[in-house]
Amino acid sequence: MSVVVRAIVNFDRDSCFDRATLIAYFALLSLIPFVVLLVTAGALILGTDVAEKSTVRLLQNVLQELPPQLMTQADALRHEKWFGLGYLLVAMWTAGNVFSKIESGLDAVFKVDKRRDYAVSKLFSFALVGLLGVLLVAVTVFGGLMSTIDRFIDTTALAPLKNLPLYHTLNGFLSRYIVPWVLAIASFALIYRLIPARAIPWRVALVGSAVAGTLWEVFKVGFTFYVSHVANYTRTYGAVATIFIFLFWINLSASILLWGGELAAILGGFRNDQET
């Protein structure tokens, strides 16, 4: 049986679609607290305005469409009188639940014999939330680097190149497709390497992430086109259309993540042939 077919069979056997639905549910519940937490952490390093812009840029690489007024609501929460350490802890707990569900799913995929203790698992989830803060800074640094390159070109003999259609095409292709694709593969690799409660070799994590990350980017482009040009969810679902789109996309993303894990588990020898 081919590796791809085995991964599909194992995906069904491990109830990965149900697990993906659970991840999407907790992602919806934790979205605004997570954004508040991310902006608050980023503001300590980058300043509020830069942190908000970087958070939007980071989320746009993950979500097909940002829910309306997301940043407005998150910013309002941050400035409430009752906002403080207590809310930050609640936000970390809520956001950490998403990683806990991903951990549970990948533990099943990679056939983990003994899961992490509850307290250790929660601390690990909090650490992953902190890692996203580092990624937020990285996105900001990359954006600044691209701006620096643009300014450098403006001051050299290469400046006329910016008026060429080819330059705009390549620049748009790089920012819209290549950079998100690389970020997706890197993110999936980190998830496969760090989240399961067993040692996953980098080689296995990278192979699974290359396939899953590529598949995810292809689906993201296709889903964006479908929502923008074919489906009319606003007519069907009205004001809750964005929530429906968000849930559907996160469910699909989680399914791709878990299926990529199934593929990596087979290639890494974590699943034996007798199972299929």
Separation between Cα atoms, residue 95 and residue 93, nearest integer Å = 6
DSSP state letters, 122-164: HHHHHHHHHHHHHHHHHHHHHHHHHHHHHHHHHTSTTGGGGGS
pLDDT at 41 over 60: yes
What's the pLDDT at 79? Answer: 66
pLDDT in tens, 232-261: 666 666 667 777 888 888 899 899 999 999
Domain boundaries defined on the chain:
3-275
pLDDT in tens, 99-156: 888 889 999 999 888 888 877 877 777 677 666 656 655 655 565 555 666 666 666 6
Q: 165: Cβ–Cβ under 8 A, 6 or more apart, which residues?
A: none
DSSP summary character for residue 174:
I
Smallest CA-to-CA distance from 24 within 35, 36, 16, 14 is with 16
Separation between Cα atoms, residue 153 and residue 147, nearest integer Å = 10
Chain centre to alpha carbon of residue 108: 20
What's the pLDDT at 257? Answer: 92
pTM greater than 0.85 (yes/no): no
Separation between Cα atoms, residue 64 and residue 67, nearest integer Å = 10
CA atoms within 13 A on the CB side of 193: 14
Within 10 angstroms of residue 65's Cβ, the number of other Cβ atoms is: 16
In contact, 184 and 213? CB cutoff 8 Å: yes
pLDDT in tens, 183-214: 888 888 988 998 898 889 999 999 999 999 99
In contact, 42 and 137? CB cutoff 8 Å: yes
pLDDT at 36 over 80: no
